[in-house]
Chain A
Amino acid sequence: MIELQQVTVTYTDALAPALREVNLRIEEGELALVVGRTGVGKSTLLRVINGLVPHFTGGTLAGRVLIEGRETRAQPPRELADVVGFVGQDPLAGFVTDTVEEELAYTMEQLAVPVDVMRKRVEETLDLLGIADLRNRALHELSGGQQQRVAIGAVLTAHPRILVLDEPTSALDPTAAEEVLAAITRLVHDLAVTVVLAEHRLERVAQYADRVIEVRTNGTVVSGLPAEMFATTRVAPPVVELGRMFGWTPLPLSVRDARRRIGPVRDQLGGRTVPPLRRTSTRAEGPVALKARNLVVRYGAVVAVRGVDLDLAGGEVTAVMGRNGSGKSSLFWALQGSGPRQSGTVDVDGADPKVLSAAQGRRVVGLVPQTPADLLYRETVAQECAQADSESGVTPHQVTRALLDRLAPGVPDDVHPRDLSEGQRLALVLAIQLVAAPRVILLDEPTRGLDYTGKRALVGILDSLAAEGRVVAISTHDVEFVAAAADRVIVMADGDVVAGGSTVDVVGASPAFAPQVAKILSPLTYLTIDQVKTAVGVAGR
């Protein structure tokens, strides 16, 4: 059982507390879902539970935190390792050893579990999480979903009563996320482990939650039953928004709940024409601007992209989807010209970015990489902007700053780029790339770490870029985002393009990639809440 009494957490040098007078009780065997905007202190709340706050992070904690009757004030995280298992956002960064089996044993070694018990528990955990065939594999070779399951297994072997997970599925493709969530729900149901998890991708986890804990922007915390909490939370998955729109009580949390209620609405919408997915009419739809033929990228014996043909038109947003490791990033880097490309041609308005110098290449194709922070190396936002201006040789200066203000208004000048939120940092890098005025702009996994509000802002940015006639391509796992942002979708698997076409055709029909609204309203071809809203609004009038 977890009990927080009047807990206030203030970090050193912070103006306001990250958590304010939190009173919270999580019963044994519950799955508690922590929700809230990016940067509100969800991670702080999770770290309070195993004592990382304040023992590891510093800052002051007022109030009492009782974990299974033990107070974290007196016990640092290492002494709580037998009651609380903690898995951070990036499982790979938390691995101590280098093979799966040793990693599973590590916590037990520290706890001095008897040798024969250790052996038994490792085998049990391998089976419980379905990773028995990975036991001798090196950790860094595993896919994201496998790594996440190993990280969970590595804390489970100590038989903790509480499992704390920070965004376990955010970086995963839909299938891998399913694997991880299946493992987590099994722990809750079969072993009565208390699970506390924070997640941005609510559409994946809302249905499994027994309790929802919302962290508000001022640091206060409210908790309650999911159906009641989601009626008012700032962030909500599409299925909940649909329920709110039609005033259903209790609110549906899963696609199944919603489908049982949707009947009358679907009948009503059935005869109507589906509103267009996107306001394509505002776009300056152009001719094909980027033409790639027979692209091959290989790293030694591994073929990452095998003979891909691609035509991207100006004024369109194209989403590239596919499993982790299916060749999306390699394709983007090859299109940009900075990455390897063994054969094939890329033609952007008659120029091949590969043969141009790096400085000229970025005027043709701009790329925002998966970790945007790799591009940033100055101390303040203002310095980064000035640097970008001079690199691109634009006059007058302040062009980057103006772009940044358009993309994300209100980013302060004197802040260190690392202290920006994920969305602001993405906007800064995007602005730096846009200064060179490339015709084609590629974004590799831009939705990582963005909440629903951040994603909505990004959709707006992509729309305006496309409206200028640019070619915009994004790679992402996020189907809800694709439904809202993309005109066309390409699905890659094992280096090949296996499907391509309009968003409705590709995403609507796929069992793994269909957004929640499509699943609920199937066979109607609605993909987003906005479409439903428009259709219902028309009906109301």
Chain B
Amino acid sequence: MPTRSRRWSISSDRRVPRTLHPIAWWVWALGLATAASRTTNPILLILILAVLAFVVANRRGEAPWARAFKYYLFVALAVVAVRVVFRIVFGGDIDARDMHVLFSLPHIPLPSWAAGVQLGGPVTLEGTLSALYDGLRLGCLLCCVGAANTLANPKRALRILPGALYELGAAIVIALNIAPQLVESVQRVRRARKLRGGSGNGFHALRSIAIPVLEDALDRSLNLAASMDSRGYGRIAGTPDRDRRITGALMISGMGGLCIGTYGLLNGSSQESLGLPALLAGSVLCALGLALGGRRVRRKQYRPDPWKLPEWSVVATGVIPAAVFLAGTGYAVASLNPSTSPLSWPTLPVIPALAILVASLAGFAAPPPLRPAQPAAVRGRAQSDQETAEAGRISPRTEVPA
């Protein structure tokens, strides 16, 4: 039966909608970020942006954070613009004899103590382009993180923190929940301030708003703490101090190792011997710390996100570009960083480009996102009709072929 075969087709939106494991999205996005950090080729960078945008458009949910990707794009644009403008204003190339001068800003001589800084001077095509590429890379990294935040519910991502970091995750989640309440509290008190004839401006008004808001926040926190305490939060109490100290030491040294290792790996110019060993040592220390810290945790997670085939596929599509860019074999490595001095047209290396395109398959490999049921009052008639139609289309799937 034709409908049955379509069930397995990778482009099908008829699979049961569910949220993908947040870790899978983060690995995917960080894979692309790794690739982006190794190149300044504008064609490849724009390709990465296109892949990000495609997957986000295809697989984001309808929650507030899922609408954030465009803001990351705006910030990325701003990063590019700032990078280029700074280069033009401060990086005027003095020895621009062999270069293509676009125009010249008046050179402002600076006193001797500011020796390394140029202000104004001739602006070259070479300098501007290299700033543009650099800014683009930075913006691209930013968008990778943005895509991960857009695709994975940040709160769910925090919930899968290992047991030893549970308290940290809980604190962040509560802070995220409290922030809107604090805004509401400020608005309410400001409005109330008018009832006493205050204008809402000036130092006096600040005090008259800050104090009730802080008192309110303190009340809320105490209420919340009492509620969490009476609902069993922190039942792990009783861990000996010694264990806690060892966990802390392991975690901090492990994190240090991770940072050094990541820097070594991603910064192509550093020694080969630094990156991988430090990363491995850091990972081992962190894992030990987490295992020790999580040993006494008795807690279960409600409806844990499953890790199944789609998760593995999404992870794979993210790891492939990272591996190709890190390996640097099978294509001209120089094409990843096109020269701007002397000027050259960026080329399109085939294998890295294909590797990036592989990442776009995540848009098909991930199941369609969960659309939360809307309150009946909001839901339009058209939409419920559409749902009925969809339900009708899904039903043949369950038929048994004769």
Contact = CB atoms under 8 A, between A and B. Distances in A.
Contact of B300 (A50, A55, A93, A113): A113
Given A118-B300, A362-B196, A110 B227 contact: no
Contact of B192 (A140, A375, A388): A375
B212 A119 contact: no
A381 to B, nearest CB: 15
B16 interface: no
Contacts of A95: 177, 224, 227
A111 B235 contact: yes
B392 interface: no
A217 B85 CA distance: 73
A52 interface: yes
Given A333-B191, A358-B198, A362-B196, A56 B229 contact: yes
Contact of B194 (A93, A114, A358, A388): A358
Interface string A370-404: 01011111000000000010011000000000000
A109 B300 contact: yes
Contact of A374 (B180, B192, B300): B192
Contacts of B304: 115
Given A93-B223, A108-B302, A109-B301, A338 B230 contact: no
A258 B67 CA distance: 59
Contact of B232 (A94, A101, A110, A118): A110
Contacts of A369: 188, 191-192, 195
B234 interface: yes
Contact of B219 (A93, A98, A137, A339): A93
A155 B230 CA distance: 9
Interface string B225-248: 111111111110100000000000
Interface string B165-193: 00000100110010011000000110111
B300 A96 contact: no
Given A81-B232, A154-B231, A105 B303 contact: yes
B298 interface: yes
A376 B198 CA distance: 12
Interface stretch (A16-24, A71-79, A173-181): A71-79
B176 to A, nearest CB: 8
Interface string A48-61: 00111001100000
Contacts of A158: 231-232
B199 A358 contact: yes
Contacts of B225: 56
Contacts of B196: 362, 375, 388, 391, 432
B230 A118 contact: no
B188 A374 contact: yes
B220 interface: yes
A107 B173 CA distance: 16
A108 B232 CA distance: 9
B195 A367 contact: yes
A108 B300 CA distance: 8
A165 to B, nearest CB: 12
Interface string B142-186: 000000000000010000000000000010011001001100000
B223 A373 contact: no
B329 to A, nearest CB: 45
Given A119-B303, A122-B302, A78 B229 contact: yes
Interface in A323-378: 333, 336, 338-339, 357-359, 361-362, 366-367, 369, 371, 373-377
Interface stretch (A82-90, A219-227, A245-253, A501-509): A82-90
Nearest to B228: A96
A367 B191 CA distance: 11
B2 interface: no
B341 to A, nearest CB: 53
Given A93-B220, A98-B177, A115-B302, A52 B197 contact: no
Nearest to A47: B226
Contacts of A388: 196
Contacts of B220: 93
A106 B231 contact: yes
Nearest to B214: A377
B21 to A, nearest CB: 16
B330 interface: no
Contact of B299 (A52, A98, A110, A374): A110
A361 B207 CA distance: 22
B380 interface: no
Given A78-B237, A373-B215, A392-B197, A52 B174 contact: no
29 contacts: A51-B230, A76-B229, A78-B230, A80-B230, A86-B226, A88-B227, A93-B220, A94-B226, A96-B227, A96-B228, A96-B231, A106-B231, A109-B302, A112-B299, A118-B300, A358-B199, A359-B197, A361-B194, A362-B197, A367-B195, A369-B188, A374-B188, A374-B189, A374-B212, A375-B192, A376-B212, A377-B208, A391-B197, A433-B195
- The list of the 8 closest CB pairs from A to B, nearest first, reads A94-B227, A81-B232, A105-B302, A110-B232, A359-B197, A374-B192, A93-B223, A86-B230
